[in-house]
Structure 1
Amino acid sequence: MRNSSAWPDTLTNMSVQSIERAFAVLRTLATGSFGVTELAEQIDLPKSTVARLLSALEAEGAVTQVEQGGEYRLGQGLLDIAGATEPGRNLVATVRPWLLALSEDLGEAAGLSIVRGRHVYYLDQAVPETDVMVRDWTGETLPLQSVTSGMAMLAGWSDADLDDFLRLPLEATTAYTLVDPEQVRERISTVRNLGYAWGYEEGAAGINSVAVAINDGEGLPIAALHVHGPAYRFPDPERTHDIGLQLTDAAAGITEQLSD
């Protein structure tokens, strides 16, 4: 095998440049899905270069194309890495069986998310066999206070951290998104009392959801577990509390597993 120290400086520089460009692609996709043209504009690179980078990253599972000829988003291979909470411990792999069980039991999509800056980032989603399905949010981001996953994790923050978050303008995704700091505080107070968060078309039109924070061994939120479905059928008004408790039990089980 050739000693890498003997490589010409030009080859080393090219390799570093390729890595830098690949990370530029990944950082941009971390904010949402993009087509080749839009992505090239975002990172100021030729379309041909971006297309080659995407092809290489897709081969490694770091990115995936939503549909043939469509936009790209972060792939499951990279999401698995992002879901690692500590060396040798993979959050996505640990939570996956719980998502499948919740999805099949409740008949709706179940998902896993984490905080990324001022947004929720969706790591994984499991879906049941039903006639009407909702969008797969894996790899997508939404404003933290606009979705139940975000509210559930915000409820575990200290008052000082929450104050810092609420000092900046809050982004809306639907007409029902809470953007008034005092309304957000009131909702978080409710979530703290109940232990779970319900949201009605606040993150996406026509979608209702419920979420619970997944805590570490010290009781601090590291992720959120959620279930979401079409507003016309989810939830059954008589089951909102029971569903919330079901997710709470699942989150507690996940925390116990992660602590073993």
Structure 2
Amino acid sequence: MISVSAQPNQSIIHGIICLQTLAASPVPVGCRELARQVDLPVMTVNRILRTLMYMGMVVQNEKKSYLPGPAIHVLAAQSIHGSELMNRALPVIENYLPVNHIVSVGVLWGDKVSYLIHALPEHSFSQSLLNNHLFDVTQSTIGVMLLSRMKDEEILQLLGNERFDEVKEPIDFARINGYASRVHSSPQERTIAVMLDEKNHAAIALSRLHIRDENELEASLKSLYELRDKIIGQ
């Protein structure tokens, strides 16, 4: 969490939240539904959407629902081009592939994890940039790793008591061991994650790992750390 000494501009915050929520939606969203999702008055959201339409960030379809407009694609391209993290990570991960497991890079967005890169073995590398789904932070190994870098009071504010209790044990594990781990339905299939970039609060993970013993776990961690170090230039 970032603390600020000055009062933040709520109008800008609300506009960005509306734009991010709309961009993350797999389907067009009406004004009232968007207002419900972001918990803002309909009149406020309507005014924001009209401004975003004027800028070309959103457009309306024939049903008067909203979806990303042409200007948001320009913003997306500019963001990737200007991202030091993405410019370092993309060529390294592309050279690392193909492998028989998943490689992911993710960041926190509220109580969700947004995957900047999600490279599946069965997909081309270009598709790894299109798998930008939002996942509940408590259900994501990358999410647990990122939460482990926050203070408990910050996590409580973000998740509430019940959801924090669900992830407290794996968060403590990540703090002690320096990596997060999740065992899936198959006891031999696991995901491991480590911090990638503290400044951008990003983490990297390998998943669909078939780990049978501690030696294989150590080997997988070694591969993950080596991949991380290549990205950050160590």
The interval holding the TM-score normalised by the smaller chain is 0.5 to 0.7
Aligned residue in 1 for 2:197: 215
- Letter of the structure 1 residue corresponding to residue 205 of structure 2: H
| Contact 1:196-1:210 within 8 A present in 2 as well | yes
Distance 1:189 1:221, change over 3 A: farther
Alignment of 1:252 with 2:234, yes or no, is: no
| Contact 2:22-2:67 within 8 A present in 1 as well | no
Specify the SS of the correspondent of 2:131: coil
Number of corresponding residues:
189
Aligned residue in 2 for 1:193: 176
Distance 1:145 1:116, change over 3 A: same
Q: 1:146-172 CA deviation, whole Å, 9 max, x = no partner? A: 1101011111223432343343553xx
Q: Which has the higher helix share?
A: 2
Question: How far has the Cα of 1:111 moved from its partner?
Answer: 1.7
Q: 1:10-61 CA deviation, whole Å, 9 max, x = no partner? A: xxxxxxxxxxxx9787423344422x3x55763478632768964x43xx67
Normalised by the length of structure 1, the TM-score is 0.57
Candidates 160, 169, 176, aligned match of 1:167: 160
Q: 1:67-124 CA deviation, whole Å, 9 max, x = no partner? A: xxxxxxxxxx65555557xxx54322211123224442x4222121111111111112
Q: Distance in 2 between matches of 1:158 and 1:52?
A: 37
- Letter of the structure 2 residue corresponding to residue 222 of structure 1: H
Distance 1:250 1:149, change over 3 A: same
Further displaced range: 243-252 or 118-127: 243-252
Aligned residue in 2 for 1:91: 85
Q: Distance in 2 between matches of 1:158 and 1:250?
A: 27
Normalised by the length of structure 2, the TM-score is 0.62
Aligned residue in 1 for 2:102: 109
Specify the SS of the correspondent of 1:237: coil
When the two chains are superposed, the root-mean-square deviation of aligned CA atoms in Å is: 3.8
Q: Distance in 1 between matches of 2:63 and 2:90?
A: 35
**Identity rate, percent:** 19
Structure 2 residue runs of 5 or longer lacking an equivalent are 1-14, 35-45, 50-59
Specify the SS of the correspondent of 1:167: helix
Aligned residue in 1 for 2:61: 47
Q: Distance in 2 between matches of 1:198 and 1:149?
A: 9
Alignment of 1:141 with 2:134, yes or no, is: yes
